[in-house]
């Protein structure tokens, strides 16, 4: 019989406590007052959460309906529900367990009338949101090409994630978005939602926060204070401002709030998560107790030492050190390679070796910082016949932007490719409606022509409106011009010209959605990949063969995914490629967010390392083909933050070896300790971003806080020193890692 929402369980012994270590048991038994459980990677966070919920019920501290348990995913909520039922030996009904959105919707349906809605309101999906905003923008004569509705909606969503209603958006905050009209459009959008008896996902919490803060409805908040005796929150480090405000308001009742999370795994700042929420928990909830879960049950000692050493460099953290009873295991492999192709070859060969030793491909993962890095690994795996899966997105050549770009190239190479032309004829938008495209297609079928030939015919007749004819004629001229360049222009350069002149690149550049930068990087990677082939035809043939071989095979598969997507997962063997400054840490993240961006990148490194149970391999390259040209790379600053005792370093002859007490000598056979932190031969000379070759005083010494000057980047301040490398924060907020020889004191 299930436990009813109003019936506490009769108290008996609690055998489930015997499986817990002392800090875990402490977290479970500390039921009253505010509690922060800092749960490091692999320390049994889920076990503590579920056991604590079971213990509340088991000890008659609350009825199921008096517990509010918040998760980030439905999967986590279902897992929690099943585990608690297993611990108690019976299902539990009537409690408030679910995601922020699900619980917000449950509350709002009870109080919808207080914000001008009825309980039967509709929740709009993202497509409906964008369509509604577009209507409002057109009514306000805002250019939707210059200000894409999808991008403007993303900004409104971000305002909602910060708990801001239209009246709280200042002119400075809005800037010139939508010609300075975005706050007005936000207000109109909210008003229109009420007319439609609808809300979006952001409103589910925002409306409830508005109700809770309104003194006229103080009884509503008081009702929930009386209802919820205990509040529990999972993944607290990922909460945004609105979620934080909602929780704080609800916790003002009993003060019995338990938040479980890991500040060192806060990696979603780009989508609104505020690491500050967990960092200031003790200030927000006076008298709060903090319990650290540091015993790791996942990884070997060397892996944990490496992760702890890297994350210790962050200043904005509460602090904990992972440890394990398990043996040290294998040291982390660090491999320096000449280029991206060599990197992919090394990883694939290492995977094959492990496979021959009996390791399962299902327990191996390649975790990249950015999606564009996947291509070389995919192609190498396919060449060797290694089965793989891409998690969190399509395979490289299946991505929308790549398919679109390939369609342009196919039409240039073969004008009669109707499928390719049909895909991009109105991408980017050229004002060609469905009716026009239908007319072109019907004419092609009836005349026995290709779509391209049909356009040639109709562009010279009166069947279509003059503006449409002009658009189509211009498109045909573009294709003809691009086709004429095949014999005189390198095919990779031609691809860049086509993407730029067609407006396709510009379309993604003006798109403000979070995934737009990644799509642009993938397009640049595509152009770069083409340079490896003799001509356009051979490249397109290669892609066709790749696509043909991408049918899903059965059996074990290597996992290929981004570091962001890997959070919460674990594998026996993990490969972490691309550890070069600019790639990882991401230059874009540092440029946009300064020190905070660098620290989030370091947390991402921590997440990546702690995904490994037995074996972790980190690779970096001296040269990487990016965006059609070769780029010399400096090893990631994170490499020298790894503990030397836990890392085994190997590099191809002549390569700089970070984190070692020495470098290869000129013979390539030994080490020269006196050369530590010096560039080896010419490899690192001038590899900093546009670093000048001008020699600075060899006697110059630096300390954090020193004011310095760089020939290209100007004046700045030293924020961190590692050997002869300085992290300098410049006046525009950018942080660059530079060799001291390129810097002068001022």
Report the alpha-carbon distance of residue 501 to residue 640 in Å, rounded. 43
Residue 653: its pLDDT value, please? 66
Report the alpha-carbon distance of residue 55 to residue 61 in Å, rounded. 8
104: part of which helix (H) or strand (E)?
helix 100-111
Residue 105: its pLDDT value, please? 92
Annotated active-site positions, please? 45-46, 234-235, 265, 611
- Does residue 6 have a pLDDT over 60? no
Lowest mean pLDDT among 534-548, 611-625, 626-640: 534-548
Give yes or no for a contact between 551 and 382, defined as CB atoms under 8 angstroms apart: no
Sign of the dihedral defined by the CA atoms of residues 16, 18, 24, 29, in that order: positive
- Does residue 10 have a pLDDT over 50? no
Q: Tell me the average pLDDT across 107-114.
A: 95
Going by pLDDT thresholds of 50, 70 and 90, the confidence category of residue 680 is very low
Listed residue (53, 73, 565) closest to 258, CA to CA: 53
Going by pLDDT thresholds of 50, 70 and 90, the confidence category of residue 126 is confident
Q: Tell me the average pLDDT across 90-103.
A: 87
Going by pLDDT thresholds of 50, 70 and 90, the confidence category of residue 443 is confident
pLDDT tens digits along 562-582: 999 899 899 999 999 999 999
Give yes or no for a contact between 163 and 206, defined as CB atoms under 8 angstroms apart: yes
Residue 335: its pLDDT value, please? 94
Report the alpha-carbon distance of residue 461 to residue 473 in Å, rounded. 11
Residue 744 vs residues 36, 492, 499, 716, 740: alpha-carbon distances, Å: 46, 40, 42, 10, 8
Residue 742: its pLDDT value, please? 67
Please state the pTM of the whole predicted model. 0.74
Residue 184: its pLDDT value, please? 95
Query: Which residue bears the tokens 């479970």?
Result: 28
Q: Tell me the average pLDDT across 650-672.
A: 49
Structure tokens at 95: 């409690």
DSSP, collapsed to helix, strand or coil, labels residue 138 as helix
pLDDT tens digits along 243-288: 999 999 999 999 999 999 999 999 988 878 899 999 999 999 999 9
Convert 240-274 to b/e letters by CB count within 10 Å (16 or more is b).
bbbbbbbbebbbebbebbbbbbbbbbbbbbeebbb
Report the alpha-carbon distance of residue 61 to residue 91 in Å, rounded. 18
Listed residue (421, 378, 700) closest to 545, CA to CA: 378
Residue 439: its pLDDT value, please? 83
Radius of gyration, CA atoms only, the chain? 29
Q: Tell me the average pLDDT across 17-24.
A: 92
- Does residue 121 have a pLDDT over 60? yes
Q: What is the dihedral of CA 77, 79, 80, 85, to 10 degrees?
A: 130
Residue 710: its pLDDT value, please? 79
Q: Tell me the average pLDDT across 99-112.
A: 93
Q: Of the segments 83-97, 188-202, 681-695, which one has the largest average pLDDT value?
A: 188-202
Q: How far is CA 713 from the centre of its chain?
A: 28
629: part of which helix (H) or strand (E)?
strand 629-632
- Does residue 686 have a pLDDT over 70? no
Report the alpha-carbon distance of residue 150 to residue 516 in Å, rounded. 11
Q: What is the pLDDT of the chain when averaged over all its residues?
A: 85
Going by pLDDT thresholds of 50, 70 and 90, the confidence category of residue 739 is low
Phi, psi angle pair for 244, to nearest 5°:
-60, -45
Q: Tell me the average pLDDT across 9-15.
A: 55
Residue 737: its pLDDT value, please? 72
Residue 93: its pLDDT value, please? 82
Report the alpha-carbon distance of residue 389 to residue 395 in Å, rounded. 8
Residue 445: its pLDDT value, please? 80
Residue 712: its pLDDT value, please? 65
Contacts of 438 (CB under 8 A, 6+ apart): none
Residue 80: its pLDDT value, please? 86
SS percent in the chain: helix, strand, coil, step 5: 50, 15, 35
Q: What are the strands, taking DSSP E only, across 386-491?
A: 388-390
664: part of which helix (H) or strand (E)?
strand 663-664
- Does residue 665 have a pLDDT over 70? no
Residue 431: its pLDDT value, please? 85
- Does residue 133 have a pLDDT over 70? yes
Residue 677: its pLDDT value, please? 30
Q: Which residues pair with 738 in a beta bridge?
A: 726
Report the alpha-carbon distance of residue 470 to residue 363 in Å, rounded. 56
Residue 448: HSE in the Cβ half-sphere, 13 Å Cα cutoff: 0
DSSP string, 182-230: HHHHHHHHHHHHHHTTEE-HHHHHHHHHHHHH-GGGHHHHHHHHHH-SE
- Does residue 86 have a pLDDT over 90? no
Report the alpha-carbon distance of residue 736 to residue 525 in Å, rounded. 24
Q: What is the DSSP letter of 3?
A: B
């Amino acid at each position: 019989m299930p436990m009813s929402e109003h019936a506490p369980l009769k108290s008996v012994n609690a055998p489930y406590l015997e499986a817990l270590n002392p800090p875990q048991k402490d977290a479970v038994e500390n039921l009253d007052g505010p509690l922060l459980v800092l749960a490091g990677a692999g320390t049994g966070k889920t076990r503590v959460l579920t056991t604590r919920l079971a213990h509340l019920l088991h000890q008659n501290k609350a009825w199921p309906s008096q517990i509010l348990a918040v998760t980030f995913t439905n999967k986590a909520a279902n897992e929690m529900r099943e585990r608690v039922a297993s611990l108690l030996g019976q299902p539990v009904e009537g409690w408030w367990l679910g995601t922020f959105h699900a619980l917000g919707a449950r509350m709002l349906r009870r109080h919808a009338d207080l914000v001008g809605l009825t309980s039967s309101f509709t929740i709009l999906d993202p497509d409906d949101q964008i369509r509604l905003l577009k209507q409002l923008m057109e009514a306000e004569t805002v250019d939707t090409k210059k200000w894409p509705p999808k991008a403007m909606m993303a900004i409104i969503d971000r305002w909602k994630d910060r708990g801001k209603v239209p009246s709280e958006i200042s002119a400075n905050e809005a800037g010139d978005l939508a010609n300075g009209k975005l706050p007005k459009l936000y207000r109109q959008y909210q008003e229109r939602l009420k007319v439609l008896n609808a809300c979006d996902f952001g409103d589910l919490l925002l409306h409830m926060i508005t109700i809770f803060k309104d003194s006229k409805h103080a009884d509503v908040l008081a009702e929930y204070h009386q209802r919820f005796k205990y509040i529990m929150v999972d993944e607290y480090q990922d909460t945004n401002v609105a979620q934080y405000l909602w929780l704080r308001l609800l916790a003002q009742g009993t003060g019995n709030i338990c938040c479980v999370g890991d500040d060192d795994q806060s990696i979603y700042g780009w989508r609104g998560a505020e690491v500050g929420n967990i960092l200031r928990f003790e200030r927000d909830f006076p008298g709060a107790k903090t319990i650290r879960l540091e015993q790791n049950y996942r990884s070997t000692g060397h892996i944990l030492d490496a992760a702890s050493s890297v994350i210790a460099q962050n200043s904005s953290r509460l602090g904990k050190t992972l440890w394990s009873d398990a043996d040290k295991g294998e040291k982390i492999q660090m491999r320096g390679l000449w280029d991206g192709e060599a990197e992919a070859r090394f990883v694939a060969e290492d995977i094959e070796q492990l496979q021959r030793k009996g390791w399962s491909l299902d327990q191996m993962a390649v975790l990249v910082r950015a999606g564009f890095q996947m291509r070389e690994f995919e192609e190498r795996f396919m060449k060797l016949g290694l089965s793989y899966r891409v998690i969190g997105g399509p395979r490289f050549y299946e991505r929308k932007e790549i398919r679109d770009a390939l369609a342009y190239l196919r039409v240039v190479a073969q004008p009669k490719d109707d499928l390719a032309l049909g895909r991009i004829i109105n991408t980017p938008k050229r004002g060609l409606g469905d009716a026009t495209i239908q007319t072109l297609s019907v004419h092609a079928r009836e005349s026995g022509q290709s779509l391209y030939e049909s356009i040639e015919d109709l562009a010279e007749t009166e069947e279509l409106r003059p503006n449409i004819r002009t658009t189509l004629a211009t498109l045909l001229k573009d294709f003809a011009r691009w086709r004429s360049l095949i014999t005189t222009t390198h095919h990779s350069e031609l691809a860049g010209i086509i993407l730029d002149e067609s407006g396709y690149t510009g379309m993604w550049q003006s798109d403000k959605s979070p995934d737009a930068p990644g799509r642009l990087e993938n397009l640049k990677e595509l152009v770069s990949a083409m340079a490896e082939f003799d001509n356009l035809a051979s490249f397109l043939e290669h892609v066709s063969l790749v696509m043909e071989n991408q049918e899903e095979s059965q059996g074990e598969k290597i996992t290929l995914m981004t570091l962001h997507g890997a959070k919460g997962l674990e594998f026996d063997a993990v490969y972490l490629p691309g550890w070069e400054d600019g790639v990882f840490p991401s230059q874009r993240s540092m440029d946009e967010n300064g020190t905070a961006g660098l620290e989030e990148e370091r947390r991402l490194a921590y997440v990546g390392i702690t995904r490994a149970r037995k074996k972790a391999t980190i690779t970096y390259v001296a040269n990487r083909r990016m965006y059609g040209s070769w780029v010399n790379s400096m090893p990631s600053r994170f490499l020298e933050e790894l503990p030397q005792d836990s890392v085994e370093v190997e590099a191809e002859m002549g390569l700089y070896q970070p984190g070692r007490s020495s470098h290869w000598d000129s013979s390539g056979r030994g080490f020269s300790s006196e050369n530590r932190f010096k560039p080896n031969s010419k490899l690192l000379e001038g590899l900093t971003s546009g670093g000048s070759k001008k020699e600075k005083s060899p006697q110059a010494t630096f300390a954090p806080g020193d004011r310095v000057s760089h020939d290209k980047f100007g004046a700045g301040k030293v924020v961190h020193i590692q050997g002869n490398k300085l992290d300098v924060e410049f006046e525009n907020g950018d942080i660059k890692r530079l060799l001291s020889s390129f810097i002068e004191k001022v």
